[in-house]
């Protein structure tokens, strides 16, 4: 983030339940918000939706394949880390906690891309002898911050249980577009895969679910048919700021991911009317649907916020952040 000092502090308490707390300082982030997709697949699907005609399975699958190819190309650009580049905050016989840089994949994916998981495995190893068995959670490629890896089966089992039972609290520092009106609050909006922009996520609505009612896993990817999941984010305003030479309105917030869903923070912030600065997927002009997938009427009904960032402000912020690479969000703590 602009004008933030890089500081690192870590505190760790390991019990039989493997509870932990690690706090690190904010690190530089940057952004680029791309133009909307003009591909044939995207146009065909948007045309079907705008005409109130149910999209076909082939249209949905074509759009999903298009986006997945773009994601795969981006993943290949993941930065490779050496042992010397690792910022290890804490480790003992059970776990290792690392500060992940932005621009690095958490895990390698199907095509064995450079990843933090591989770098940590090469540096410290694990009792299980497999790097994939060290993974208990993930951060997006563009997100920097705290990640914890298991070194023993006991640690893997106990931490998986804690994440599954929502006994883990994760806090993020983010810079969002516009001035958030209230000092704190909750964003409580269920999330679901967006069939128009799969595999991205969106806020679930009855209308969105009805479109998929007649499809089966033989027609479209089974993840698109998963039911909506309850998703809750707590936000706390740290400061209201001006961004860049044009002094554009922005707010620094602490976000607590209570439910930990895929892309939860990005979708919730966008639906709330304050996209994360530099979010090229869920921000204005990204590959995912803007506003968390909500229409104007749905925003009024489900995410009412008279102070949401205007389209004009979001466009100005996109122009002001053209030279940046990653969005402004940092995983600050996990406990």
pLDDT, tens digit, for every residue of 176-192?
999 999 999 999 999 99
Which pLDDT score, from 0 to 100, does residue 52 have?
Answer: 61
pLDDT at 109: 87
Picking from 138, 142, 122, the residue whose alpha carbon sits closest to that of residue 130 is: 122
Task: Provide the pairing of β-strand 88-91 with 21-24.
Answer: unpaired
pLDDT of residue 287: 87
- Compute the half-sphere exposure of residue 230: CA atoms within 13 Å on the CB side of its CA: 4
pLDDT band per the 50, 70, 90 thresholds, residue 3: very low
What are the counts of helices (DSSP H) followed by strands (DSSP E) for the chain?
8, 12
Contact 25, 160 (CB under 8 A): no
Q: Is the pLDDT of residue 85 over 80?
A: yes
Range scoring the smallest mean pLDDT among 11-20, 157-166, 219-228, 311-320: 11-20
Could you read off the pLDDT of 109-125 as tens digits, one per residue?
888 999 999 999 999 99
- The phi-psi region of residue 47 (left if phi > 0; otherwise alpha if psi is between -120 and 50; otherwise beta) is alpha
Contact 276, 266 (CB under 8 A): yes
Pairing of strands 232-243, 191-193: unpaired
Dihedral, 270, 174, 251, 22 alpha carbons, nearest 10: 140
Position 266 scores a pLDDT of: 97
What is the model's pLDDT at position 110?
A: 85
Compute the distance between CA of residue 291 and CA of residue 299 in angstroms, rounded to an integer.
8
Global pTM reads 0.84
d(C-alpha 172, C-alpha 331), whole Å: 4
Q: What are the residues whose beta carbons fall under 8 Å from the beta carbon of 120, sequence distance 6 or more?
A: 86, 96, 98, 131, 134, 149
pLDDT of residue 51: 54
pLDDT of residue 33: 27
Cα angle vertex 39, ends 34, 40, to 5°?
165
């Amino acid at each position: 983030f602009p004008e933030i000092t890089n500081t690192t502090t870590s505190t760790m308490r390991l019990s039989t339940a493997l509870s932990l707390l690690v706090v690190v300082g904010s690190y530089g982030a940057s952004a680029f918000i791309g133009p909307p997709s003009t591909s044939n697949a995207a146009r065909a699907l948007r045309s079907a939706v705008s005409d109130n005609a149910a999209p076909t399975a082939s249209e949905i699958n074509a759009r999903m394949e298009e986006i997945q190819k773009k994601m795969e190309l981006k993943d290949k650009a993941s930065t490779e880390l050496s042992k010397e580049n690792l910022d290890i905050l804490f480790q003992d016989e059970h776990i290792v906690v690392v500060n992940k840089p932005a621009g690095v994949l958490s895990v390698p994916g199907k095509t064995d891309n450079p990843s933090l998981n591989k770098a940590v495995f090469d540096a410290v190893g694990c009792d299980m002898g497999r790097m994939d068995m060290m993974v208990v959670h993930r951060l997006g490629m563009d997100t920097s911050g705290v990640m914890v890896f298991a070194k023993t089966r006991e640690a893997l089992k106990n931490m998986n249980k804690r994440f599954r039972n929502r006994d883990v609290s994760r806090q993020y520092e983010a810079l969002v577009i516009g001035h958030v009106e209230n000092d704190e609050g909750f964003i409580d909006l269920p999330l679901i895969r967006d069939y128009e922009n799969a595999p991205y996520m969106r806020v679930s609505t009855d209308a969105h679910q009805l479109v998929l009612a007649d499809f089966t896993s033989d027609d479209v990817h089974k993840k698109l048919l998963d039911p909506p999941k309850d998703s809750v984010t707590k936000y706390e305003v740290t400061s209201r700021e001006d961004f860049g030479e044009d002094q554009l309105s922005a707010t620094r917030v602490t976000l607590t991911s209570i439910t930990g869903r895929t892309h939860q923070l990005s979708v919730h912030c966008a639906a709330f009317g304050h996209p994360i600065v530099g979010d090229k997927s869920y921000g204005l002009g990204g590959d995912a649907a803007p506003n968390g997938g909500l229409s104007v009427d749905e925003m009024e009904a489900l995410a009412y916020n008279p102070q949401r960032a205007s389209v004009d402000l979001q466009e100005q912020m996109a122009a002001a952040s053209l030279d940046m690479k990653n969005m402004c969000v940092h995983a600050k703590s996990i406990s």
